[in-house]
Structure 1
């Protein structure tokens, strides 16, 4: 079962009822500090029996006659429905069973007191199993509120066992412990080392390796190679490190992690001596691994500001690792970092804000160009706040919209796997500004692909880039991707039917608003029919010419206005992008070395079996 929503009333900063609609995999609670993000996590955690609602959790402005209440709504699966439909059927048959036949003549029955009717939970039509807590203190226990089918109340204890365990992970407040003996290894304080042993394939041999001899030394060497390979493959910032597990102490009764870092020439280093960000990434990942393996079952994982000490690169790596974890567990995390906002799935993001009436939740913060996110985090539009390290430069703002729309459609259809958190698509402007933008991006250490139309403008920009950015082109920090001759972004990345509809809608809007006037005797449908890919002219250029001829003013339609309408129409259209669009995106993905959404085949959270 996955949690679909939580309804919270009178809990800490939430005075009135607030509903959090949840994605079945990953959820991001975005907001400034002290706006109530952590309070929502703690309310979710109260699903556990050992996390009661206390008097301190009661909202300070809640009327004394009102109770604190939290409801957890879970979507049930077919297995649940099949099982409890059978129980319902068995109960019905038992209640209405036929009388037994006998050989004796019937006699008047002795009046008996009818058995009481069994009590049933209230039912709902949403296929949900709903749990709740109401009030505070010892009497505020988790109970069943409603079921998707008719289930006797006597089954409550059984239903309560179906709850997933909620685990909260916080940023480390002390240094990692990277040295351990056998007695310590199995204690909760050493979860980090448990995760290391599991990842390296040592966990099954833990009873034997805490003594130094030729056999155990070889086991540690093999485990070190496994650990290095996995971490180098999956962790962007740690790809140059070599990890070693070494015997230390009295006859090898302790095992210690050492790191060979190319930037540290004179000695080994250790995780406990590294930065807070380094320690955070590994503490979280290894604790998750250890806790999951030690407690088999279903989980909801909560993370309170996991990116606090992480470099932006590591935050993106963490997002990709979260995608792997969410195959088996549901995740909710809080953040006020731009690099932990999910661009692949905008619906996963929720903005948490503080108002005079308490904490409020915006379920759709991606609307109006992420306005509520920008307001919550104090970001101006000019900050271009979701720029990633790998950048695709385009010749205009409409190109950005067409390309992004195409990528999203290809991802939805399973035709391409690109992590949008890894990519920024930037309008570099006209040929006069394009080279300057490229130099600016290169000065920030970005990897850039310049996407150019197959026309004279693209030729002009290419000539300038070859002259001014010769060194960067040789180093492949900058690469040029030229579209085929007489092809523009509109030719490759748009659906011509949707595009024609958007041009028509935009033209009609301009006339209806009094901004433009139709050219005399113009037939709009005939003009729209002229818009199609040709051999001697880019579609972008053709659109400019055709639309300019529609109006008395002889002024072309804004490509940006058309693209914004196109974006809206494309969201509700199920047409697949062309094969040319797919192959072009695959080529751009390869040049930019874009990663997929997940951490590839194995993640830092996956146990490696001992050989």
Structure 2
């Protein structure tokens, strides 16, 4: 059983659906008629898995969560929550009403059978439509759309079958420490650590029993911890929730038995330090084994949560990539709240019936990356890997980073109307990414909802619409993630005629450059843009490598098209029947023509405009459209109408041939773009790694130009190893480091100077060359790990085994790094330093392209 729709009327900021009531095509429902006439419920549909509710401040989005909780639980249903600006809000006798909430539930065959046994009628489509008109009253709609009041026994039985609402506590973070006595099941010490210290200091200052009697009031004030004000009670309640979270982490997630905490408590009291250390080590091992936060917290893959013992508490500490331990108070609050959400979700025991997880603004304390990590957790919660169970998630947010751009259909935008309109649902929000979503998130912030770390430059807005729409369609149809674009990571940037300059600005001259790829039409303008890009960077160098420029016609050589059409732009991948439908929809929506009038544009007329001289389908559409309606057609509007039509018919049981053709054509194109972006991302990661290694080496020899002791050499080797990533190239660098360490016997005598320092310098400076030499087949991994071969391969210049340093591909990297530090350094397509030989080679390549 899952919720299809939520129905809300008169609840807090929700009044009733004004737009539906006054729409000319609306049909009055008798079951929604009141003493004030027909007042339809505000209806919000929910996805079967995840729904994101977006709205401005005070728009009522949090009230929707509360309404869902009332529908599912029947609890907290109060007259005091009746909408204040409703005409039915009253204080008079027999006129006071409850807010009405309800929901339409999709049922399985087994659930329908169970309801039939209980003699609970179903709605006309075999769903369950449940209403709660007042506290303790449950009604359902039958097939005739009549309200049926359930008996007490029926209501109780139905309640057991309904999904359970689970509210995540988004305002509760993990505590800095957890009471060890509480974990052990022992009566806790009645004070925090600071209070205990104050108490001990007080007692130490008391000279005798008589003095203690005189200061008894002070003593009892230190011992008495009962809250004295409402604020104190609030603090105590929050502290209790935090302590429970900490206990759940250790007992439910880490699976540590409470008896182990009792043993630890006694070992600390008895000062048995060896046993204390052994128990803590095993507890930390259990946390690391079962918690596995590093899978979800992408900001530090070496992150580890640990505990440290104190006299009466276990203190949570965080160990990061530096190997240093920090307390929670020394790290950002975002991490502690992320851990809080993680612990709440993983320690929660899901009921046997389906569940609806409710989250109110979980983004409040999380960074943009942390919110993306939370999105992945919610996805897993809704679709866990280890079970076929699926639950629903509904969350409200202000943040653009908690919107999954791969699933725009999940977004629901609510807005508060003027006067007594109250909260309303904004229809078709995903058909326009900027309004009203942009208004709800903020005019400037909202646009970051469509900005990612990788960039795909396209020629125009219509390409944005087509690619994003078809990408979403393919993902919903079950296409592999690797063959589609992750729109949470990838930005589609319309470059237009300024493409080369925008690429230059995007790549810039900064040390860290975003990964960029380009999609160009295969027409004359696209070819010219390609030439400009390859000549348009700094000093006439390409801003992106040739392999990262995708020409549309080359990307889909097997595309199925209309006879005579040559694939040069994305519109050429659209089958003629769909192109005609989109163009006619454009005419009705933009020009205001009737459906009959739009038929003046026929598919035959479009086909007749295709010729060997004009093989473009878009040109044919444009010519035929102008001939039929005496005006032009815009690409962006055409693309939007095409995607809208496909979306409206996405659930049709039988898909016509042209729909399968467009899916196949764009699947091939998007798969190629995905592969190209992966290459761009990998190239940029490699460039950053190489640059980091080169900088470390350069800095070391600037500080130690003539020699160093072994300990100093070991320090730089460890820093280089930390900079090498977990890839095959990183393995090669680590192998080279191990060989250098072994050959020079580093570590045997830390304070002894390196004897063959010039050899050590040459080997270390050429370390970044090893991956390139391996790719060229000049050496293999066995050569690198063999000390004699390594010595030959990396012999100093001038020896028989030396690599020809006149070859730019094998120039000493330290020299390149030194040159790169100067302002006028030449760079290649990936931003790496160029030697003179590379510059000549690049100029020849660019000149050949221009010719």
SS in 1 for 2:318: strand
Assess, with a 3 A threshold, how the Cα gap between structure 1 residues 349 and 313 changes in structure 2: closer, same or farther.
same
CA contact (8 A) 2:178 2:243 kept: no
> Does 2:331 align with 1:331?
no
**Bigger-Rg structure (1/2):** 2
> Does 2:321 align with 1:279?
no
> Does 2:8 align with 1:8?
yes
Unaligned segments of structure 2, at least 5 residues: 17-40, 186-239, 265-274, 384-389, 557-566, 594-600, 650-654, 683-851
> Does 2:413 align with 1:351?
yes
CA contact (8 A) 1:500 1:528 kept: no
**C-alpha distance in 2, partners of 1:171/1:302?**
10
Assess, with a 3 A threshold, how the Cα gap between structure 1 residues 445 and 55 changes in structure 2: closer, same or farther.
farther
**C-alpha distance in 1, partners of 2:456/2:59?**
35
Assess, with a 3 A threshold, how the Cα gap between structure 1 residues 342 and 244 changes in structure 2: closer, same or farther.
closer
The match for 1:222 among 266, 285, 297 is: 285
Q: What corresponds to 1:463 in structure 2?
A: 534
1:518-574 per-position Cα deviation (integer Å, ceiling 9, x unaligned):
xxxx99837626759x9xx9976x74489569979x999654344334333443464
Unaligned segments of structure 1, at least 5 residues: 89-119, 515-521, 595-611
The match for 1:291 among 331, 334, 348 is: 348
Assess, with a 3 A threshold, how the Cα gap between structure 1 residues 523 and 375 changes in structure 2: closer, same or farther.
closer
The match for 1:435 among 488, 491, 501 is: 501
Q: What corresponds to 2:246 in structure 1?
A: 193
Q: CA deviation at 1:274?
A: 2.2
1:295-337 per-position Cα deviation (integer Å, ceiling 9, x unaligned):
6653211111111122122222222221111233211111122
CA contact (8 A) 1:182 1:206 kept: no
The match for 2:359 among 303, 307, 313 is: 303
Q: CA deviation at 1:440?
A: 3.6
> Within 5 A, what are the aligned runs for 1:40-55?
40-47=64-71, 49=73, 51-55=75-79
Assess, with a 3 A threshold, how the Cα gap between structure 1 residues 225 and 69 changes in structure 2: closer, same or farther.
closer
Q: CA deviation at 1:70?
A: 1.5
Assess, with a 3 A threshold, how the Cα gap between structure 1 residues 590 and 469 changes in structure 2: closer, same or farther.
farther
TM-score between the two structures when normalised by the length of structure 1: 0.73
Assess, with a 3 A threshold, how the Cα gap between structure 1 residues 313 and 304 changes in structure 2: closer, same or farther.
same
Q: What corresponds to 1:141 in structure 2?
A: 136
**C-alpha distance in 2, partners of 1:316/1:469?**
38
Assess, with a 3 A threshold, how the Cα gap between structure 1 residues 31 and 445 changes in structure 2: closer, same or farther.
farther
**C-alpha distance in 2, partners of 1:545/1:377?**
40
> Within 5 A, what are the aligned runs for 1:398-437?
398-417=462-481, 418-430=485-497, 432-437=498-503
Q: What corresponds to 2:260 in structure 1?
A: 208
Assess, with a 3 A threshold, how the Cα gap between structure 1 residues 280 and 505 changes in structure 2: closer, same or farther.
same
Q: What corresponds to 1:80 in structure 2?
A: 111
The match for 2:576 among 497, 511, 516 is: 497
Assess, with a 3 A threshold, how the Cα gap between structure 1 residues 382 and 36 changes in structure 2: closer, same or farther.
closer
The match for 1:566 among 639, 642, 652 is: 642
CA contact (8 A) 1:49 1:142 kept: no
Assess, with a 3 A threshold, how the Cα gap between structure 1 residues 213 and 396 changes in structure 2: closer, same or farther.
same
Q: CA deviation at 1:441?
A: 6.6
TM-score between the two structures when normalised by the length of structure 2: 0.54
Assess, with a 3 A threshold, how the Cα gap between structure 1 residues 20 and 513 changes in structure 2: closer, same or farther.
closer
The match for 2:374 among 318, 321, 325 is: 318
1:442-485 per-position Cα deviation (integer Å, ceiling 9, x unaligned):
679643222334552242143135656969759x9x95445565
1:352-396 per-position Cα deviation (integer Å, ceiling 9, x unaligned):
212211222224322344422223334279957522233211122
Q: Where is the strand percentage greater, Structure 1 or Structure 2?
A: 1
**C-alpha distance in 1, partners of 2:247/2:280?**
19
Q: What corresponds to 1:97 in structure 2?
A: none
Q: What corresponds to 1:607 in structure 2?
A: none
Q: Report how many aligned residue pairs link the two structures.
A: 536
**C-alpha distance in 1, partners of 2:333/2:486?**
26
> Does 2:284 align with 1:232?
no
Assess, with a 3 A threshold, how the Cα gap between structure 1 residues 190 and 462 changes in structure 2: closer, same or farther.
same
